[in-house]
Amino acid sequence: MRRTDRYRRELQRQFDWDALKVEAQANPADDLDTIDERVGLAFLGTILSLTPSGKVYTPWATSNLSPCPRCKGTGTVTNKRGDAALYEELSEAVGRARVEAVQQHGAFCEGRWPKKLADELRQRDEAAHAVKPERDCTWCDGLGSQEAAQDKDWHEALEAVAESHGMFVTAGEGDPCDLFVGLPLEE
Q: Return the closest-CA partner of residue 135 out of 186, 80, 180, 88.
A: 80
C-beta neighbour count of 183 within 10 angstroms: 23
Euclidean distance between CA atoms 56 and 43, whole angstroms? 18
Average pLDDT score over residue span 159-185: 92
- What length does the chain have? 187
Task: State the pLDDT at residue 107.
Answer: 64
Q: Specify the pTM.
A: 0.73
Average pLDDT score over residue span 63-92: 91
Strand 28-29 relative to strand 76-78, pairing = unpaired
